[in-house]
Amino acid sequence: MPNIKSAKKRVLISEARTEANKSAKSALRTSIKKARAEGADAAAIKAASISVDKAAGKGLIHKNKAARLKSQLAKKANA
C-alpha cells in the first residue's frame, strides 16, 4: 500500500473501476451469448447490439471490435 495520500486514493479508485469494468464486460458477454444461442429471437439480438454500442462508447471494448460483433449479430439476424 502506498504512503502518499493521493496514491492511496488512486489505488482505491482503480480497484473500484476494475470491479465495475469486470461486471460490465461480463454482462456484455452474457448478452452476446444469449443472442448467439440457438433459437434466439430478434429482441435478444437487438439488445446485444445495443449493449455492444454502450460498451464501445465507454471504452470497454475497441470500436472495431464493436463493429465486428454487431456485423456478426446482424448476419445471424438476417440468416
pLDDT value for 60: 95
What's the CATH number where 41 sits?
1.20.58.110
pLDDT value for 59: 94
Query: How many structural domains comprise the chain?
Result: 1
Mean pLDDT by 10 residues, the chain (79 residues): 94 96 96 89 92 95 96 90
pLDDT value for 25: 96
Containing domain of residue 14, as a range?
5-78
pLDDT value for 57: 95
Q: Model-level pTM greater than 0.75? A: yes
Helices vs. strands in the chain: H and E counts, helices first? 3, 0
Query: Distance of alpha carbon 10 from its chain centroid, rounded?
Result: 24
